[in-house]
């Protein structure tokens, strides 16, 4: 039976010119009890498609609809959003817009309570949803006091408690730690198998590996049109994936590149487990005993950093007597270093960041917080942000002006700079992320990638020495991530900035960071280069962190083939396998 039918469905927002549809002539069907991934670059139309399933498009997000969307046998044209909510549950990209109760438990209960269910049934559903999302330890906490990733789990729990026939998730794991991503995607699959629910999930590329592990089918859209539709293995091998710009799982990319090197396989894998098995079989077949790096391969890039620009010593923070969020954290960050801070949701990453910019103060008097040698604990916020500034995890928490130009020009105007200087600084900031062509666009309705670029650009006119950026690649496709990190490196190399990013994207850390710091339960437990940290897989697992997929593949192969445990990129693994295959007579 069909749970979703799109019949020549098109949609254009009110702010779009005629002919510039967000979605164009979509026709597809989704069977009951299936898990479908909708992939596409930022701005491709994924969010619009999700919101069309319960009538938010066009009844709340106004615009012009053509064709029909039929969900659970109901034509969305003929029903209001509150009626469709009994059939379709949606988790939006920003979880904060779906959370409003005073405790986590009450928020999960809100949906089923509004369905008029019996009290015992509400309690059962709430308990099941909280258990599935692993929120038991937060049930009495205020949702405003938990991390962004925990809020994302809470929004998902709220939909699970509604038990709709169809669940749709817009980038549901973008704010979660690696194990959290796996857990949530497995929840979707289990709920689908257990109750016959249909699950739809969107993905821009950063978490394509987590999606590929569980979906039955992938629909790839580009510029509002369906480009590919089929089983995950077929779609992710298609050359047109490069056109879409979402990337592939690292193991898939590895096998495709090995094929180009003349090492053929019976099929191309999309999961880590299958990739390990197929590569091990091929190595045995070819007589390879060891996987070694080529002699000329450089594993360490020499970077020259300056003196310490950030100094933190023995910082503690209690939100209340029961919540000890930071437990004596100490470290130093030198000038011109790109640092990644990682850790499971609720580990203290964002709490630490807010101390560095003066939004929170240590709760112990013997702590040290210095930026450029200056004690910032007693400084005014308007002084701190000219030395170190913070970009929020959700751009909507930060953006408020009418246009992109107005947003970037706001900060220099607030500090009373001459208008010609405001103009110069604003134009400089726009060039970093190529926003000049969009300067007159309204903030409302901007694509998520432009919002992310803008949220960083609007602090640049203050010329801080240190940029502290929370989840810089959330919602970005593969091309957007590359553009983001290239721009941040340019700020480091050409303007001398120190960059600190808080992220759950392990590939970003492995590919772009000079150093990685691991937080766990309020403690800084590991600190070193990505190679040094990711090689310690067992210690990372204790902190609920998984290295990049290609690193985990090398670690899995290390037992039999002595593969290096600190591989960071697909190209590095290609070089290792290719060299070892061609040099096996020499002992490889």
pLDDT tier, 303 (very low <50, low <70, confident <90, very high otherwise): confident
Determine the Cα angle at 465 with ends 462 and 467, to 5°: 85
296 alpha carbon, distance to own chain's centre: 34
When pLDDT is cut at 50, 70 and 90, the band that residue 585 belongs to is low
CATH class of the structural domain 336-351+380-529: alpha beta
Residue 298 has pLDDT above 70, yes or no: yes
What is the pTM for the complete model shown?
Answer: 0.90
Q: In a 10 Å sphere around its CB, with 0-12 CB exposed, 13-18 middle and 19+ buried, how is residue 436 labelled?
A: exposed
Percent of the chain scored above 70 by pLDDT?
99
pLDDT of residue 198: 95
User: What does the pLDDT read at residue 345?
Assistant: 87
Closest C-alpha among 284, 307, 270 to residue 584: 284
The ranges of the chain annotated as CATH 3.40.50.300 are: 2-245, 336-351+380-529
Region 533-552 average pLDDT: 93
Q: For Cα atoms 16, 18, 21, give the angle at the middle one, nearest 5 degrees.
A: 60
How would you list the strands of the sheet with 23-31, edge to edge? 23-31, 2-13, 63-71, 74-75
Report the percentage of the chain scoring pLDDT > 90.
78
Q: What is the pLDDT of residue 63?
A: 95
What residues contact 280, with CB distance under 8 A and at least 6 apart?
Answer: 557, 560, 561
Distance of CA 386 to the CA centre of its chain: 28
Look at the alpha carbons of 489, 490, 494, 500 in this order and tell me if their dihedral is positive or negative: negative
CB environment 56-86: b (16+ within 10 A), e (fewer): bbbbebebebebebbbbebebeebeeeebbb
Is a pLDDT exceeding 60 seen at residue 548? yes
Give the mean model confidence (pLDDT) for residues 556-580: 96
Spacing of C-alpha 587 from chain mean position: 42
Confidence band, pLDDT 50/70/90 cuts, at residue 586: very low
Specify which residues 208 forms β-bridges with. Answer: none
Q: Where are the alpha helices (DSSP H) in 19-163?
A: 46-52, 56-59, 81-84, 104-114, 119-132, 148-162
User: H or E segment at 457?
Assistant: helix 448-457
**Residue 375 CB partners (closer than 8 Å, separation 6+):** 368, 369
How far, CA to CA in Å, does 25 sit from each of 28, 38, 153, 184?
10, 16, 33, 31
φ, ψ dihedrals at 124, nearest 5°: -65, -45
Q: What is the token pair recorded at 494?
A: 């050409």
Confidence of residue 588 (pLDDT cuts 50, 70, 90): very low
* Choices 3.40.50.2300, 3.30.70.240, 3.40.50.300, 3.30.70.20: CATH for 2-245: 3.40.50.300
> Could you give the CA distance from residue 313 to residue 370 in angstroms, rounded to a whole number?
9
The H or E element containing residue 200 is strand 198-203
- The rounded distance, in Å, linking the Cα atoms of 224 and 86 is 27
- 374-375 and 523-528: which strand pairing? unpaired
User: Cα–Cα distance between 369 and 436 in angstroms, integer?
Assistant: 37
State yes or no: pLDDT of 587 exceeds 80: no
Q: Provide mean pLDDT across the span 560-572.
A: 96
pLDDT in tens, 263-276: 999 899 999 999 99
Q: What is the token pair recorded at 427?
A: 């134009």
How confident is the model at residue 267, as a pLDDT?
93
Tokens in use for 348? 């203290």
Average confidence (pLDDT) over 60-65: 94
Q: What is the spatial distance between Cα 464 and Cα 459, in angstroms, rounded to a whole number?
A: 8
What tens digit of pLDDT does each residue of 447-480 get? Answer: 888 999 999 999 999 999 999 999 998 878 888 8
* pLDDT at residue 300 tops 70: no
Sheet containing 498-502: order of strands? 388-391, 466-470, 498-502, 338-343, 515-520, 523-528
Q: Cβ distance 175 to 152 under 8 Å? A: yes
What mean pLDDT comes out for the span 193-214? 91
Answer positive or negative: Cα dihedral of 14, 16, 21, 23: negative
């Amino acid at each position: 039976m069909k749970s979703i039918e799109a019949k020549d469905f098109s949609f254009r927002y009110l702010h779009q010119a005629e002919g510039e549809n967000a979605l164009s002539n979509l026709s597809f069907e989704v069977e009951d009890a299936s898990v479908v991934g909708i992939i596409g670059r930022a701005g491709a139309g994924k969010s619009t498609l999700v919101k069309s399933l319960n009538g938010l498009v066009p009844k709340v997000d106004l615009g012009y609809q053509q064709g029909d969307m039929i969900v659970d046998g109901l034509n969305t044209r003929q029903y209001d959003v509150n009626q469709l909510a009994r059939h379709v549950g949606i988790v939006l990209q920003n979880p904060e817009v779906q959370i409003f109760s005073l405790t986590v438990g009450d928020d999960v209960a809100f949906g089923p309570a509004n369905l008029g269910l019996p009290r015992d049934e509400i309690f059962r559903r709430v308990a099941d949803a909280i258990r599935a999302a692993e929120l038991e330890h937060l049930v009495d906490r205020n949702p405003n006091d938990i991390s962004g990733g925990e809020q994302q789990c809470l929004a998902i729990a709220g939909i699970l408690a509604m038990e709709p026939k169809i669940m749709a998730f817009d980038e549901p794991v973008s704010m979660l730690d690696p194990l959290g991503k796996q857990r949530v995607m497995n929840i979707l699959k289990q709920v689908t198998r257990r109750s016959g629910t249909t699950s739809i999930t969107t993905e821009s590329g950063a978490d394509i590996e987590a999606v590929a592990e569980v979906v039955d089918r992938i629909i790839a859209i580009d510029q509002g049109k369906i480009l590919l539709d089929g089983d995950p293995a077929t779609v992710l091998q298609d050359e047109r994936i490069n056109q879409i710009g979402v990337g592939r799982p690292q193991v898939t990319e590895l096998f495709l590149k090995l094929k180009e090197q003349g090492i053929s396989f019976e099929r191309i894998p999309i999961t880590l487990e299958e990739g390990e098995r197929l590569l091990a079989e091929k190595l045995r077949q070819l007589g390879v005993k060891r996987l070694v790096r080529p002699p000329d391969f450089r594993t360490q890039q020499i970077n020259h950093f300056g003196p310490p620009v950030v100094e933190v010593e023995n910082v503690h923070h209690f939100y209340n007597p029961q919540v000890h969020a930071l437990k004596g954290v100490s470290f130093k960050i030198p000038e011109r270093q790109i640092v990644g801070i990682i850790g499971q949701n609720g580990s203290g990453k964002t709490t630490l960041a807010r101390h560095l910019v003066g939004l929170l103060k240590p709760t112990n008097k013997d702590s040290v917080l210095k930026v450029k040698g200056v004690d910032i604990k007693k400084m005014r916020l308007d002084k701190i942000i000219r030395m170190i500034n913070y970009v929020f995890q959700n751009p909507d928490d930060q953006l408020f002006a009418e246009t992109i130009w107005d947003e970037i020009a706001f900060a220099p105007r607030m500090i009373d700079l001459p208008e010609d200087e405001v103009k110069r600084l604003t134009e400089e900031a726009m060039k970093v992320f190529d926003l000049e062509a969009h300067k007159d666009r309204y903030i409302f309705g901007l694509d998520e990638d432009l919002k992310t670029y803008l949220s960083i650009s609007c602090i640049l006119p203050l010329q801080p020495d240190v940029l502290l950026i929370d989840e810089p690649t959330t919602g970005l496709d593969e091309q957007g991530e590359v553009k983001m990190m290239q721009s941040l490196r340019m700020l480091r190399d050409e303007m001398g900035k120190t960059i600190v990013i808080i992220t759950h994207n392990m590939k970003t850390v492995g590919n772009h960071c000079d150093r990685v710091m691991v937080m766990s339960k309020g403690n800084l437990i590991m600190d070193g280069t990505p190679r040094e940290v990711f090689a310690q897989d067992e210690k990372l697992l204790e902190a609920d962190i998984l290295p990049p997929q290609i690193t985990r593949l090398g670690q899995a192969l290390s037992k039999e083939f002595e593969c290096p445990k600190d591989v960071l990129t697909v190209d590095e693994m290609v070089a290792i396998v290719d060299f070892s295959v061609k040099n096996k007579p020499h002992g490889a």
